[in-house]
Structure 1
């Protein structure tokens, strides 16, 4: 299908006037409309707006004046992001259906760069959990197996990308919500350093643990999108950072990176598929001349502390809802945030101290290595419509993601790279790479090296 070609390929064909952005947009929209009834990946598909943007792109290319590298490229954004003219429902029936008057800064950057936004992707209510379903808007499913969850909370993003509707979608991550669905659907997922991608209006209920970033089926396309959306904005004071190094700008070749492999005792309770995926990744790194050495970091303890901030965010989201409407909220959200709602100030300050301790330990670790390697998750995708796998003790989803929240609290960049172990039901697993703050360039360079040996797969639902 036309829209599944790489951004570089599309640009070359646009430049030679062999292909129109309108044809590509129609191809993507038709695909979305065919498969979305089965996936429930999209909360909104705006054919008229997408085709209008594509026609404007066509005119720019015809005149030889494209707006940027993303001009005419189909993309999607998660429900949380304000897009002018579209509602911001955040997966909830109690949110306003009124269209936003202004796009959030990173969306405006996409629009200014000529990207063709197809619509908004599904998320659980207020992004509260690591799977994607909600009482008001149903269950989102995994393109590789419709009986399974794509993960969450950016599950609509990953489902849209894994199904080949778009090559990149922009999601958010406060406890793993980009990396979890990337791992469950076999996609790339980048959680940048906190503040790299500006968002407004502020504040977010999840405050300084929520990050915005891309889920993609190709590292080169991911880097191009990231290069457009990142950088400081006056609309978001947390984004007051230097413009980061992105595609091809790493000062350190990936083959020279010092990779620290997290001590196996920290993830030895992972399912066999995850262990096999880690072994496969180590073999690929060895072929590239990289020799990871074992390092220790108590990621589970760091994630447990970080989970406290996540619950505080969920409690804040609930507190912002009129109590008369609580009966319409996801019962799981109410139960999940109950303890955090009663947290005292001394308890919160203790949580801050725990976060600082673990973040400092991670920072010290990066004196020894350039990148930390560990599983993204200890499990594979499970049945859709559930918060935890069948037979799992309890219904708390944060008991099965002990390797992701730590890096939200530390505000460090992390990337999930997919591996497909043989003999484990044909499902992907994620290997997570973490770098020091502001060092996304290391992760992007490493992912480019890995993709040459481990190509990204896209599901065929047609």
Structure 2
């Protein structure tokens, strides 16, 4: 299909006049309609907007004046994002049907770069869990096997990318919500340094653990997206001081020092994850990388992060009028109950623990450039369930012990897909860097991509 070509190939085709952005978006729209019923990846599709954007892109390419490397590229965003003229339902039946009156900053940047935005993707209610389904909008499924979940909460984004409808989609991540679905679908995802992608005009209930980030089919395309959407915005104080050019220069991979998180921190991962990690280490060793073992209490950091996350979910529930809460996902109401016991004293303790843990992690990067550990201890499981069938705990965060820690500490974290030998499903290898060092993750991921996809 036309739209499944890489950004690089499409740019060359546009430049030479061999293919039109209009033909490409028509191909993407047709594909989205074809997989819509089987995957339930899309919350909203705007064919007219897409065709208008594509026609404008076609004129620019014909005149030799594209706006950016994303000009004419089909694109989707998670349904939490404000898009002018589109509803923002956030996976819920209780949210407003009113149309947004302005774009989120990163949406505006995509449109200003000429991206052809045509759809919003599915998410669970208020982004509350690591799989994608909701009482009002059904179950989103994994293109690798529709019986399985694509993960969440940005599961619609990962399904759209893994199915080949788009090459990149932007989701949100407050506890792993772009990295989890990337690991389950064999795609790439980056949770960038906190603030690098501004999150305005819509403040989040999730304190300052929520990030926006892309899920993509390749490192090059992920980087193209980050170059467009990252950079400071005066209305988002957390972004002030961050450089727009953070992705302009990618360091060489050969000088990177890679630290493997001590095995006892993730030894209860499933066999496929262990196998994938061993194979990744072998690939790095064959490339002459300086690897060493480092230690960090990942589970304690995740436990603290999970308390912030649960409190954010409670705030989202409490913002719903009491008379409408009966329409909410019953599992969400159960999930937030423990957060009701968090008082001011407990909240202060959580912040103090965060300071200590973030400091400990920061020290790790005195000796390494990239920390490596699994994204998740499991592979994709049955769709329509919050936990794998037979799992001893009904809390979805019990199978997600490695991603929330880096929301807590604001470090950039990238999930890289590895398909272990003799395994049916991919795993995610999580790469983490010091704050502001996102480009080191891009460098290592690009090297791994070259040496695993040959």
Do the structures match in fold with TM over 0.5?
yes
TM-score between both structures, scaled by the size of structure 1: 0.97
For 2:160 and 2:392, locate their aligned partners in 1 and report how far apart those are by CA, in whole Å: 31
The answer to whether the 8 A contact 1:371-1:434 is kept is: yes
The answer to whether the 8 A contact 1:248-1:445 is kept is: no
SS in structure 2 at match of 1:209:
coil
- 1:248 positional shift: 5.6
The answer to whether the 8 A contact 1:226-1:246 is kept is: no
The answer to whether the 8 A contact 1:199-1:235 is kept is: no
- 1:13 positional shift: 1.1
Instruction: Kindly indicate whether residue 344 of structure 2 is the aligned counterpart of residue 341 of structure 1.
Output: no
Provide the residue aligned with 1:148 in structure 2: 148
Aligned length: 454
The answer to whether the 8 A contact 2:182-2:428 is kept is: yes
Alignment of 1:113-192 (within 5 A): 113-192=113-192
Provide the residue aligned with 2:427 in structure 1: 429
For 2:446 and 2:241, locate their aligned partners in 1 and report how far apart those are by CA, in whole Å: 25
Provide the residue aligned with 1:460 in structure 2: none
Deviations 1:90-131 (A, max 9, x none): 000001111101000000000011000120000000000000
* Unmatched tracts of structure 2, length 5 or more: none
For 1:102 and 1:248, locate their aligned partners in 2 and report how far apart those are by CA, in whole Å: 29
Provide the residue aligned with 1:379 in structure 2: 378
Alignment of 1:162-311 (within 5 A): 162-247=162-247, 249-250=249-250, 252-311=251-310
Provide the residue aligned with 1:448 in structure 2: 446
SS in structure 1 at match of 2:119:
strand
Provide the residue aligned with 1:13 in structure 2: 13
For 1:367 and 1:244, locate their aligned partners in 2 and report how far apart those are by CA, in whole Å: 25
Provide the residue aligned with 2:436 in structure 1: 438
Give the stretch that moved more between structures: 194-203 or 430-439.
194-203
Deviations 1:128-159 (A, max 9, x none): 00000000000000000100000000000000
The answer to whether the 8 A contact 2:258-2:291 is kept is: yes
Provide the residue aligned with 1:392 in structure 2: 391
The answer to whether the 8 A contact 1:259-1:293 is kept is: yes
- 1:342 positional shift: 3.2
Instruction: Kindly indicate whether residue 93 of structure 2 is the aligned counterpart of residue 82 of structure 1.
Output: no
The list of structure 1 runs, each at least 4 consecutive aligned residues, that deviate by more than 2 angstroms after superposition, is: 244-248
TM-score between both structures, scaled by the size of structure 2: 0.98
For 1:202 and 1:355, locate their aligned partners in 2 and report how far apart those are by CA, in whole Å: 25
The answer to whether the 8 A contact 2:25-2:51 is kept is: yes
Deviations 1:375-419 (A, max 9, x none): 000000000010011111231001101000000000000000000
For 1:298 and 1:342, locate their aligned partners in 2 and report how far apart those are by CA, in whole Å: 25
For 2:116 and 2:340, locate their aligned partners in 1 and report how far apart those are by CA, in whole Å: 40
The answer to whether the 8 A contact 1:172-1:211 is kept is: yes
